[in-house]
Amino acid sequence: MKKVLITTFFFWLSAVVQAAPVALTSSIQCSAGNQQNGIAIGDVTGNLGGATDCWGTYDGNDPGPSGDGFSIGTDTYAFLAKQDTPGGLSGTNIGLVVSPSGGAPSGTWEFDPTKFSGQNFLIVLKAASKPGYAVWLFSGADAASYSGTWLVAWGKNLSHLSIYHSGPTFGNEVPVLPTLWLLGVGLVAVLISRRKR
C-alpha cells in the first residue's frame, strides 16, 4: 500500500511540474514580421476591428481542452470553447458558431456576448497537421468583439476554431492545478498517518 501511495504521489508531482502552456514568442509573431506561411493580423477580424496580433504557424494540434493553454509573456490563456467543422461543440457554452459548418478555407465566427465578453482572448485556426494551426489575439478594445471573419492563409480547409481566454475559470470548467494540489496534500496526509501507526 505504501509503495502504491508513493508512486501515486510522484505521478501527481510530475503532472504539476510538467504543466506548461505553449509560449507564443516573438520568433513567430506577426507584428515582428516573423510569421510563417503568409498569415497576417488581418486574417481574423472582429466586429470592432481586427486582431491585435498573431502567431504561427505551428505543426500539429493546439492544446485543446486537455492542455495547458497558451502564454504571452506573463499572461496565460486557458481553453474556453471549440467548434469542429464539421462536428460538434466542446468546452464552455458561449454560443460559439463557426460558418460554414463543413471544412472551408474561410468563413465567419461569433459567440454570445452575454455569455462571454470583455476578457482578452485568442482565436486559434486549426487546418491540417503540417502546418497545423495559428493563433490570433484580441485585446484592449478589440477584446469586446464577439463576431468576425476568419481565413486559413496556408491554403487548407478549417478543421476547428478554438477560443482561449485570459480571465478566471468559470462555468463548468474544472481548475486542474488546484485539484491536483488537493490530491497531493491528501496523499501526503495518508502517508504521514500510516507512518505514525
The pLDDT score that the predictor gives to residue 16 is 43
The pLDDT score that the predictor gives to residue 83 is 96
User: Using one digit for the tens of pLDDT, what is the confidence trace for 93-107?
Assistant: 999 999 998 889 999
With respect to residue 16, please indicate whether it lies within any of the assigned structural domains: no
With respect to residue 191, please indicate whether it lies within any of the assigned structural domains: no
Domain range enclosing 57:
25-174
With respect to residue 129, please indicate whether it lies within any of the assigned structural domains: yes
Would you state the cell numbers that stand for residue 196, as one nine-digit string? 505514525
With respect to residue 1, please indicate whether it lies within any of the assigned structural domains: no
Range 182-195 average pLDDT: 55
Secondary structure string (H, E, C) spanning the chain:
CHHHHHHHHHHHHHHHHHCCCEECCHHHEHHHCCCCCCCCHHHEEECCEECCEEEEEECCCCCCCCCCCEEECCEEEEEEEEEECCCCEEECCCCCEEECCCCCCEEEEECCCCCCCCCCEEEEEECCCCCCEEEEEECHHHHHCCEEEEECCCCCCCCEEEEEECCCCCCCCCCHHHHHHHHHHHHHHHHHHHHHC
Beta strand 70-72 with 22-23 is: parallel
Burial class (CB in 10 A: 0-12, 13-18, 19+), 14: exposed
Give the integer Cα–Cα distance in Å for 27 and 38.
14
Farthest-apart Cα atoms in the chain, separation:
66
Residue 142 neighbours by CB distance under 10 Å: 20
Would you state the cell numbers that stand for residue 37, as one nine-digit string? 506561411
With respect to residue 49, please indicate whether it lies within any of the assigned structural domains: yes
For all residues of the chain together, what is the average pLDDT? 83
Would you state the cell numbers that stand for residue 78, as one nine-digit string? 486557458
Which among 61, 135, 149 has a CA at the least distance from the CA of 100?
149
User: Using one digit for the tens of pLDDT, what is the confidence trace for 35-92?
Assistant: 899 999 999 999 998 899 999 999 999 999 999 999 999 999 999 999 999 889 999 9
Question: What's the domain count of the chain?
Answer: 1
User: Using one digit for the tens of pLDDT, what is the confidence trace for 104-122?
Assistant: 999 999 999 999 988 999 9
Give the integer Cα–Cα distance in Å for 169 and 176.
10
